[in-house]
Structure 1
Amino acid sequence: MKIGIFFGTETGTTRLIAKKLYKLLGDELADKPLNVNRIEAADLLKYDALILGTPSYGVGEIPGLSAGCLERNWEEFLARFGAPDLSGKRIAMFGLGAQERYSERFASSMMALYQVFAGLGADMIGAWPAEGYTFEHSASLVGDHFVGLVIDQRTQGMLTEQRLREWVEQVKPQLLQKLHHAA
């Protein structure tokens, strides 16, 4: 079994980050990233170790048509997903945000998605320090850490590769541990 990587995207940036994570993990450890608007619940549920990515939309809403997305996104996937028991699954999340343009709600959609999966019993990992970001408020912040990796391609694109490498080093052992237990 491998690590499953799933993302919702609007402009393609979340897809780009998912592909970079896949490349860092390698195809021995991870399956190719899949867009949640092209999968069924069973496609995600077959994995015990997951990386989920989301853009930020609205005021900390789960991205989807009702939040103003042009394509189906996490909102529509979750409507079909139902409420399966995710106990035994380990999930790391990444979210995109624009700290200058949306300083008052920076990367807040990640928290909405995080709460859904945590509420279904998943073991949520991958908290990321808020140090180095400049914003007024983020719903995705707990103490001095975001609930997952935050990427700001617009204003801090030069830091993306380093942040991805550091985050993968942090979450990889915890995700692999899940794969070895499942094997």
Structure 2
Amino acid sequence: MKKVGIFYSFRSVKTHQQVKKMIKLLGADNCEEVDADVATLEDFKKHDNYIFAVPTWFDGELPNYWDEYLPTIEDESFKGKKFAIFGGGDQKNYPENFVDGVGIMAEFIEGRGGKVVGFTSTKGYSYEGSRAERGDQFCGLALDIENQAALSNERIEKWITDIQKEFSKKK
């Protein structure tokens, strides 16, 4: 498996905690952490496999750092690249747009020819709507640290196992 570029904001404490767990499962030698707050086009071009951490802010918005970074890569072809997306959301306080950021990012990636991997079941969540929902799956890993923190480790472990297989497959 080629080195995975893990893009997230180094300032996001909860996201950083989740990323640390993922790196441990993937193996530190297999990962490169990239701060989405200051990432460049060159940081993006170095990888074929990505994990994007995309929390949902407010009423279903991308965090500012993603809004600022996406124009940097929007003209690139994502063909032949694989992306696994995870994000935090709050299904009790924001049930109408739970983990929308994951869905927004998946739409951006797919619109440029990238392949989104790591779909997960919507079972076990209680929400009204989500842009990340595709049938009975999310187009990434949905984490609700506020309401279901006890389930996060198990969800992360299963998701990492699944995306490792996807990242290892030939194109």
Q: What's the TM-score once normalised by structure 2's chain length?
A: 0.92
Structure 1 CA distance for aligned equivalents of residues 142 and 126 of structure 2: 12
Q: Which runs of 4+ in 1 moved over 4 A?
A: none
- Structure 1 residue aligned with 2:40: 40
- For these two proteins, the number of residue pairs brought into alignment is 170
Tell me if 1:63 matches 2:68.
no
Equivalent position SS for 2:116: strand
Contact 1:5 1:50 in 2 (8 A): yes
1:110 CA displacement: 1.1
Contact 2:52 2:85 in 1 (8 A): yes
Q: Which amino acid aligns with 1:140?
A: A
Equivalent position SS for 2:37: helix
Q: What's the TM-score once normalised by structure 1's chain length?
A: 0.87
1:176 CA displacement: 2.2
Q: Which amino acid aligns with 2:159?
A: W
Equivalent position SS for 2:52: strand
| Between 144-153 and 53-62, the greater mean CA deviation after superposition | 53-62
Structure 2 CA distance for aligned equivalents of residues 17 and 41 of structure 1: 25
Q: Which amino acid aligns with 2:35?
A: N
- Structure 1 residue aligned with 2:16: 15
Contact 2:59 2:94 in 1 (8 A): no
Equivalent position SS for 1:28: helix
Contact 2:48 2:81 in 1 (8 A): yes
Structure 2 CA distance for aligned equivalents of residues 89 and 166 of structure 1: 22
Percent of aligned pairs with the same amino acid: 29
1:104 CA displacement: 1.3
1:47 CA displacement: 0.4
1:10 CA displacement: 6.3
Structure 2 CA distance for aligned equivalents of residues 30 and 158 of structure 1: 25
Q: CA RMSD in A?
A: 1.6
Given the alignment, which residue of 42, 63, 82 partners 1:90? 82
- Structure 1 residue aligned with 2:53: 53
Structure 1 CA distance for aligned equivalents of residues 28 and 10 of structure 2: 22
- Structure 1 residue aligned with 2:114: 122
- Structure 2 residue aligned with 1:78: 70
Equivalent position SS for 1:111: helix
Tell me if 1:176 matches 2:161.
no
1:165 CA displacement: 0.3
CA deviations over 1:125-153 (Å, ceiling 9, x no partner): 11110000111111110111001000111
Equivalent position SS for 2:169: helix
Tell me if 1:103 matches 2:104.
no
Contact 1:48 1:88 in 2 (8 A): yes
| Between 11-20 and 156-165, the greater mean CA deviation after superposition | 11-20
Q: Which amino acid aligns with 1:52?
A: F
- Structure 1 residue aligned with 2:104: 112
1:173 CA displacement: 1.1
